[in-house]
Amino acid sequence: MAKIDLIATTLLGVESIVAKEIRKLGYKDVTVEDGRVTFTGDEMAICRANLWLRSAERVLVKLGEFKAETFDELFEGTKAMPWADWLPVNAAFPVNGYSLRSKLFSIPDCQAIVKKAIVESMKKRYRKEWFEEDGPQYKIHFGIIKDRATLMIDTSGPSLHKRGYREISNEAPLRETLAAAMIEISKWKPEIPLSDPFCGSGTIPIEAALIGTNTAPGINREFISEKWERLPERLWKGAREEALSLMRPDSKLNIMGSDIDGQSVKLSRSNARKAGMEKYISFKRIDIRDIFLRDKNGYIICNPPYGERMGEKDEVENLYRDMGMVFKDFDGWSYFILSAHEEFEKLFGQRADKKRKLYNGMIKCYLYQYYNNEERTQPGKI
């Protein structure tokens, strides 16, 4: 199979996690940039990356990159790309993109020029003057940064955080991709008890169960490129069968999710059932102030309320103070808390061993990392 340049897009702050996931799949030519990780693979790499990447947002084929300071340069550079190697004669190919710190800043004009250039390229290959665009969809993306244009084709379709298990949700949900990244950052292992006392729609416990059973996060969803001629059905079938063979359904996991809101607990159970992870997770309704952890050691990974709305700030600050009082009794537990509140450590009453800037959507947050005494003494842990 031919070598293909690929891009995995990411939320800011999790690029290194995605790079690690790509290397774990066996792809070694990996480059980390802001908001994306580039790597080289083949057609099977597209299938595997979409099925297996837990923290990436989508997987794109990179057609090429070139200088584009004028519309003529954008047109000629786009036209020179090997579009017919990917797009069949009946392909539907909508164009979207962005421009940052570049001379070409009008997105509608750039869209029109890229579209026209692709049509001209396909006219030459297919010897046609008109294309119906009534076949499979190939979403074209362009990015122009500092006068350099990159042309890409989206292989994922809906963002990879849409695993297919969260059909309904409560307010302000945590993205599945960010939840998976938080678990990876914590270095949690399946044999370690895990608790999320603010489980919301169950995202962190469900993602932990998927990791603990080695279940590919994309196994229950479809991808836009499954209808492409270049990625035939047998290729996707092989990738899915491989993923199913690597699952560990007999894993013994100790994962707990709780919330003060009964509807959230009910929603979490429903989502876990859709994900096929219900038997691995125990959900219950309980206030964080009344939580009791039987195990002497474990990990708490959670996303408590931020207090972004008017009138909620005082309530949330009191909650953080109460969390600090409750958590200090869990000597053998490490905890990883995502918060957008700038005064979290002060309110919690303890400085974090480490903190990492992450983005939950457009909200800047920090993952505050607190290690138990045993882990704090391990070389390289902090």
Residue 381 has what pLDDT? 44
Indicate whether 191 and 270 sit together in one domain: yes
C-alpha to C-alpha distance for 344 and 351, rounded to whole angstroms:
9
User: Residue 117 class from Cβ within 10 Å (0-12 exposed, 13-18 middle, 19+ buried)?
Assistant: buried
Taking a C-beta distance cutoff of 8 angstroms, is the pair 43, 235 a contact? yes
What DSSP designation does 191 have? T
Taking a C-beta distance cutoff of 8 angstroms, is the pair 309, 283 a contact? no
- CATH number of the domain where residue 267 is located: 3.40.50.150
C-alpha to C-alpha distance for 360 and 271, rounded to whole angstroms:
20
In-domain check, residue 224? no
Indicate whether 121 and 209 sit together in one domain: no
Residue 376 has what pLDDT? 55
Phi, psi of 242 (to 5 degrees): -60, -45
C-alpha to C-alpha distance for 45 and 63, rounded to whole angstroms:
16
- The CA angle 52-54-55, to the nearest 5 degrees, is 140
Counting the structural domains of the chain, the total is 2
In-domain check, residue 346? yes
In-domain check, residue 359? yes
Indicate whether 148 and 180 sit together in one domain: no
Indicate whether 334 and 196 sit together in one domain: yes
Other Cβ atoms less than 10 A from the Cβ of 318: the count is 12
What DSSP designation does 92 have? B
C-alpha to C-alpha distance for 290 and 320, rounded to whole angstroms:
14
DSSP string, 126-140: HT-S-----SSB-EE
Token digits for 85?
Answer: 């190697």
Enclosing H/E stretch for 17: helix 15-24
Among residues 122, 154, 186, the one where a domain terminates is 154
Indicate whether 8 and 140 sit together in one domain: yes
Residues of the chain with pLDDT under 70: 1, 167-172, 308-311, 373-382
Token digits for 196?
Answer: 């999320």
Residue 379 has what pLDDT? 43
Indicate whether 148 and 82 sit together in one domain: yes
> What is residue 173's three-state secondary structure?
coil
Domain region containing 293: 176-214+248-376
Among residues 154, 184, 206, the one where a domain terminates is 154
Indicate whether 138 and 201 sit together in one domain: no
pTM of the model: 0.94
CA-nearest of 188, 190, 186, 183 to 252 is 190
> What is residue 238's three-state secondary structure?
helix
In-domain check, residue 234? no
- CATH number of the domain where residue 106 is located: 3.30.2130.30
Indicate whether 280 and 324 sit together in one domain: yes
Residue 312 has what pLDDT? 82
Taking a C-beta distance cutoff of 8 angstroms, is the pair 75, 109 a contact? no
C-alpha to C-alpha distance for 174 and 172, rounded to whole angstroms:
7
> What is residue 254's three-state secondary structure?
coil
Indicate whether 113 and 204 sit together in one domain: no
Indicate whether 196 and 138 sit together in one domain: no
CA-nearest of 321, 261, 266, 284 to 195 is 284
Indicate whether 99 and 184 sit together in one domain: no
Indicate whether 200 and 129 sit together in one domain: no
